[in-house]
Amino acid sequence: MNPLDENIQTAVTRITEYLSTHKQASSWQLKVMFRLSSSVLYLALGQLLAQKKITLEANDINYQVTWGQKPAQSVAPAASLQEQM
């Protein structure tokens, strides 16, 4: 494993441990707390997002990172094309 992959995996592990206990943090808090470069932070968050372990919400220039998935919001079915005419 190359050094970048190792850094990303370490970041994933540390972020997972932190969020499983604290449930939420901003991307900035995680970056500063774990002394991560922006690249490693966002690659780690991308991995966790792809694994559906976190959700991200834009919050000004940062992201609010939440452990777990939020329940899907129900959306009313769209009216049929014929009803719209």
47 neighbors 14 (Cβ within 8 angstroms): no
Q: In whole angstroms, what is the distance from residue 2 CA to residue 4 CA?
A: 6
Structural domain includes residue 80: no
CATH number for the domain that contains residue 62: 1.10.10.10
Query: What is the number of structural domains in the chain?
Result: 1
48 neighbors 59 (Cβ within 8 angstroms): no
Structural domain includes residue 74: no
Q: What would the pLDDT profile of 4-60 be if each residue is shown by its tens digit?
A: 999 999 999 999 999 999 999 999 999 999 999 999 999 999 999 999 999 999 999
DSSP state of 53: S
- Nearest to residue 40, comparing CAs of 17, 1, 6, 2? 6
Q: In whole angstroms, what is the distance from residue 75 CA to residue 85 CA?
A: 22
Range of the domain at 48: 3-67
Q: Is 62 exposed, middle or buried (0-12, 13-18, 19+ CB in 10 A)?
A: middle
Q: Is the pTM of this model over 0.75?
A: yes
